[in-house]
Structure formats: structure tokens, C-alpha cells
Chain A
Amino acid sequence: MRIKKHPILEFPVKKKIEFYFEDKKLEARDGESIAAALIANNIRIFRFSEKKQRPRGLYCAVGKCASCLMEVDGKPNIMTCITPVKQGMKVKRQKGRGDLI
């Protein structure tokens, strides 16, 4: 769901890159956050809570809550809203707290 035409803004065409979500290859644009890339691909469920396994997604988009934490390249608790997406990155839904080691 990318905006193609906007009355005020111009979105310069950015380089397309590829990343993986749950082992599925998806397209992103260079320079956007992981969270933005996921939402552009219509993915809103980012993780499941620890006790009740309830779904969580993006909330503040500026690194001030902890709703969008995901597992990125094997590391848990990555704030996907303020981390840029990179070519070949492997992003996974986080379950619970994520294992630290």
C-alpha cells in the first residue's frame, strides 16, 4: 500500500531491496524502517506477548514504546520502527521476551 500520488509530497523513487519476513522474501525501499517495510507489505502483526500470546504491532513509530520489537538476523528485541531495513535482512515475529543468548 504505497502512496503513488500525493497532493503535497513527492516520494522520490528509491532503490528496491529484498528482505525476509518469516522466511518469505519481501520487497522494501532503501532508507525505510523495518516496520514501514512490513506495513507496506500489509503485515501488521509483529510479535506475540509473553503471557497470553496476544498479537502486537507498531504503535508509536519513534522508538518510545516497545510494541514493535522483533527478531532481526537472530537478535531479539530490535526496535523495528527506528531500525532501517537492509538487503537480505531476516525478520521474524518475536514470541514473548526472546532468548537473549
Chain B
Amino acid sequence: MSEDQNNLNHSTIPEFLTDILPPEERILKRPVAIIECFQEIPCNPCVDSCPQNAISIDEGINRIPQIDYDLCTGCTLCVPKCPGLAIFVVGVDKEDKTKGSVTIPYEFNDLPQIGEEVIGLNRQGKPVTPAVVKKVIVSKITDKTAVITLSLPSEFIHEVRFFKRQSSK
């Protein structure tokens, strides 16, 4: 399939993204949630999932969720609660700004091991960078959605949204 076809329609996401991204200084302070939910759909569990009340949805449940980056602590609690799997947490290492992290919701067999090298994929599923699994959370609260944090070069924190294991095809 050609690049063009893959990108159809959803090339719009990175465009929208630039409007919602927190300022770089904010990301340097501590990790932060990025909500990639750009349509008015009848949904709001993200609002209740955040212990800091950082996420809000105006009147009713159909408006687009808004996040207050000053309130967000980057705790990742909202990540498994979003049925759209549309919330990611990104961070940059304060000491070494070339190192970054991305937290991703994951609902597939064979969870990766901590320390495992994986391949970071972009929003079109294209490999963009090697990454290392830093954290894997599965608990009753996450209801079978694993929350996986990858370490990767910080230049890819707004690009990597999925990964594949090296063992998979």
C-alpha cells in the first residue's frame, strides 16, 4: 500500500496535535498526558479517571476533552480508562534531554518484558525507532488493559504511539 493511502484522512491528526501539545518547558518539568481525541463523541470516562481533575468536558458528554497541563502529574491513571485508547503520557528526562518516554495502552497477548527491546511504531504503524520497555502495569483497575511505558529518543515522543516486539512478524 502506498504511503498516501495509509495517510488518508488521518494525516489530520498531527495537524490537530500541534494545537494541543503542551509547551516544551512543561514537558521538561514532568511527564504529561496527551489526549488524541479530536471528535465530538458521546464519551467521558477520562474526566472521572483523573485524580487531579485535570481533564474536563464542557456541557454534557459530547464535547472534546480538555486538559489542564498544569494540573496533570503524568500519573498515567487515565490511560487504561479511555475506551478510545486515545490517551498517551509523554516525558523527557530532565538530566539528559535526548531521552524520552511514551506510555501506551496495550490489549494484546504476550506482554513485553521490562528491559526488552521493541520497535516503536508511528500513528500509521510504520517503524520509526528502537525503544526499550521501561514499565508494564496490569492490575484490577486497568481491567485487562496493560499500560506500557517505553524509553526512546526524545525526538520521537510525539511520534511513537505503538510498538511491535522483535519476535513478531
Residue numbers of A with Cβ under 8 A of B are: 5-8
Give, as a whole number of angstroms, the nearest-CB distance from A75 to chain B. 41
Chain A residues in 8 Å Cβ range of B110: 5
Closest A-chain residue to B138, C-beta based?
Answer: A7
- CB contacts (< 8 Å) of A5 on chain B: these are 109-110
Chain B residue at minimal CB-CB distance from A8: B144
**1/0 contact string of B138-161 vs chain A (CB within 8 Å):** 000000100000000000000000
Ranked 9 nearest A-B pairs via Cβ: A7-B107, A8-B144, A7-B108, A7-B109, A5-B109, A8-B107, A7-B144, A6-B109, A5-B110
Kindly list chain B residues whose C-beta atoms are within 8 Å of the C-beta of A8. Answer: 107, 144
Q: How far is the CB of A87 from chain B (nearest CB, A)?
A: 32
Nearest B-chain residue to A5, judged by Cβ: B109
Complex: A6 Cα to B108 Cα, angstroms:
7
Q: List, in ascending order, chain B residues with CB within 8 A of A7's CB.
A: 107-109, 144
- Which residue on B lies nearest to A9, using beta carbons? B144
Task: List 9 A–B pairs whose Cβ atoms lie within 8 Å, in order of A's numbering.
Answer: A5-B109, A5-B110, A6-B109, A7-B107, A7-B108, A7-B109, A7-B144, A8-B107, A8-B144
B65-121 interface with A by 8 A CB criterion: 107-110
Question: What is the CA–CA distance of A7 and B144 in the complex, to the nearest angstrom?
Answer: 7
Most buried by A among B107, B109, B110: B109
> Hey, which chain A residues are within 8 Å of B109, CB to CB?
5-7
Chain A nearest CB, measured from B84 CB (Å): 16
B108 surroundings in chain A (CB, below 8 A)? 7
Residue of A5, A6, A7, A8 ringed by the most chain B CB atoms within 10 A:
A7
Least Cβ–Cβ distance between A83 and chain B, in angstroms: 31
Q: How far is the CA of A8 from the CA of B105 in the complex (A)?
A: 13
Instruction: Please report the C-alpha to C-alpha distance between residue A73 and residue B75 in the assembled complex, in whole angstroms.
Output: 60
